[in-house]
């Protein structure tokens, strides 16, 4: 019997309640091991996917876990042929059944469902269709509570789907930033999830999440414990000024004894006259020179939602290695216990830029490229 004839016979047997489980089990082998069977699946069997998934479509998807596992293993193998990717996603039941299978079924079924979504998402047009299908939330939930082998496939799928903007926004809305940082804190799939976070923070919505100390502080702490080169590189990308500085959120860094002390990094938003503004903040009155009473209506808004009053405003100048550096628009806030530097304000006023590395930060002259501070 030819391979094509054998596959056709097995597909027909799926309609028989007595034979369908054995047929589903046997169907895995030719589809997995014979490339031609995958390549011709849609052309030779136009209703093949309907036949294949019909046993699950007619009843609860996980009513027979073994049958569910066999069938989705076959769908996964069919999806590995590039010609089948768009056709599978266009079929009305494939993504809905994959989504349901990530919620229930054996661990192997969940893993295969996530792996199939990853494989399908390698086709760029499918990223949008999958993103609109309702599959993103179950993927994220499986990342949170799944078996490590399931989470590995899920992280690959999420990383692929996040290559398009609309999916970045949706994953952020579903709480992906918090979940990913929790995985990093737990030391689980750090390379994979930090890669996802690096993609998410290319969009402002994910950056805004870092205003919450319950997100920002665990990220900084987990970053310090990263050991792999990839995770360190991802964290450096996430932590860079271009990623974490914006017109809406001002992230300020404490300089301690001439070094960047990352354990003291905190997110602060300054709301002055109803608009975002860039200022430095100190709780030490003697730090400010040329000071005067602050008469504006602005307050310092912390990441936890609380506000603290500003009483004075002024400036300070200090000597770097080869020239003076200005700290302009310094706010005296008596109730704050950290000296805070606005990176964007400092770089604009002094024509410098910051270079962040794994364990050190450099302040360099913009025109000469020489290091002024380390």
DSSP letters of 164-220?
Answer: SHHHHHHHHHTTHHHHHHHHHHHTSSHHHHHHHHHHHTTSHHHHHHTTSHHHHHHHH
What mean pLDDT do residues 11-29 have? 86
Instruction: Please write the tens of the pLDDT for every residue from 205-261.
Output: 888 887 777 787 788 788 778 889 999 888 877 765 444 443 333 343 333 333 333
Q: What is the pLDDT of residues 324-373, one digit of tens each?
A: 888 888 888 888 776 777 777 788 888 888 776 766 778 888 888 888 88
User: Which two three-digit tokens encode residue 121?
Assistant: 């998402």
Q: What pLDDT is attached to residue 109? A: 93
Contact 88, 120 (CB under 8 A): yes
* Mean local confidence (pLDDT), 185-214: 88
CATH code, 251-373: 2.40.70
Range in 132-136, 197-201, 250-254, 369-373 with the lowest mean pLDDT: 250-254
* Of the candidate ranges 68-77, 146-155, 164-173, 214-223, the one whose mean pLDDT is the lowest: 214-223
The full set of domain ranges for the chain reads: 3-244, 251-373
- Which one of 17-31, 189-203, 276-290, 327-341 scores highest in mean pLDDT? 189-203
CA angle 1, 44, 63 (to 5 degrees): 85
Give 272-285 as a DSSP string: ETTEE---EEES-G
Q: Which pLDDT belongs to residue 219?
A: 84
Q: What is the mean pLDDT of residues 297-323?
A: 78
Averaged pLDDT for residues 249-278:
40
* Per-residue buried b or exposed e for 323-358, using 16+ beta carbons within 10 Å of the residue's own CB: eebebbbbbbbeebebbbbbbbbbbebbebebebee
The span from the first CA to the last CA of the chain, in angstroms, equals 74
Reported CATH class of domain 3-244: mainly alpha
Q: Residues of the chain with pLDDT > 70: what percent? A: 85
Q: Are strands 324-332 and 280-282 parallel, antiparallel or unpaired?
A: parallel
Please give the pLDDT value at position 77: 94
Task: Give SS3 for 293.
Answer: strand
pLDDT of amino acid 62: 63
């Amino acid at each position: 019997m030819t391979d094509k004839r054998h596959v056709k016979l097995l597909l027909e047997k799926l309609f028989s309640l007595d034979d369908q489980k054995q047929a589903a089990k046997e169907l895995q082998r030719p589809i997995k091991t014979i490339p031609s069977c995958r390549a011709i699946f849609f052309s030779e069997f136009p209703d093949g996917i309907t036949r294949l998934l019909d046993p699950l479509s007619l009843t609860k998807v996980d009513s027979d876990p073994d049958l569910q596992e066999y069938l989705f293993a076959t769908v996964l193998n069919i999806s590995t042929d590039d010609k089948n990717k768009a056709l599978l996603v266009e079929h009305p039941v494939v993504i809905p059944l994959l989504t349901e299978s990530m919620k229930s079924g054996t661990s192997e079924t969940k893993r295969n469902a996530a792996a199939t979504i990853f494989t399908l998402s390698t086709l760029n047009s499918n990223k949008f269709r999958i993103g609109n299908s309702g599959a993103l939330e179950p993927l994220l939930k499986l990342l949170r509570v799944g078996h490590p082998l399931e989470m590995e496939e899920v992280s690959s799928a999420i990383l692929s789907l996040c290559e398009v903007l609309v999916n970045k926004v949706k994953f952020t809305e579903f709480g992906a930033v918090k979940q990913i940082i929790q995985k990093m804190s737990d030391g689980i799939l750090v390379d994979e999830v930090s890669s996802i976070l690096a993609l998410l923070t290319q969009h402002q919505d994910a950056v805004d999440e870092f205003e919450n100390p319950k997100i920002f502080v665990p990220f900084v702490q987990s970053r310090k414990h990263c050991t792999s080169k990839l995770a360190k590189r991802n964290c450096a990308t996430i932590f860079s000024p271009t990623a974490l500085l914006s017109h809406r959120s001002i992230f300020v860094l404490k300089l301690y004894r001439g070094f960047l002390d990352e354990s003291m990094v905190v997110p602060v938003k300054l709301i002055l006259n109803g608009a975002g503004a860039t200022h430095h903040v100190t709780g030490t009155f003697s730090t400010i020179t040329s000071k005067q009473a602050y008469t504006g209506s602005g307050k310092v808004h912390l990441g936890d939602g609380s506000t603290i009053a500003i009483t004075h405003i002024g400036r300070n100048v200090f000597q770097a290695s080869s020239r003076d550096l200005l700290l302009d628009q310094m706010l005296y806030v008596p109730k704050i216990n950290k000296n805070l530097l606005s990176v964007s304000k400092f770089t604009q006023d002094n024509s410098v830029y910051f270079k962040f590395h794994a364990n050190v930060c450099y302040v360099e002259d913009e025109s000469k490229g020489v290091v002024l501070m380390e």
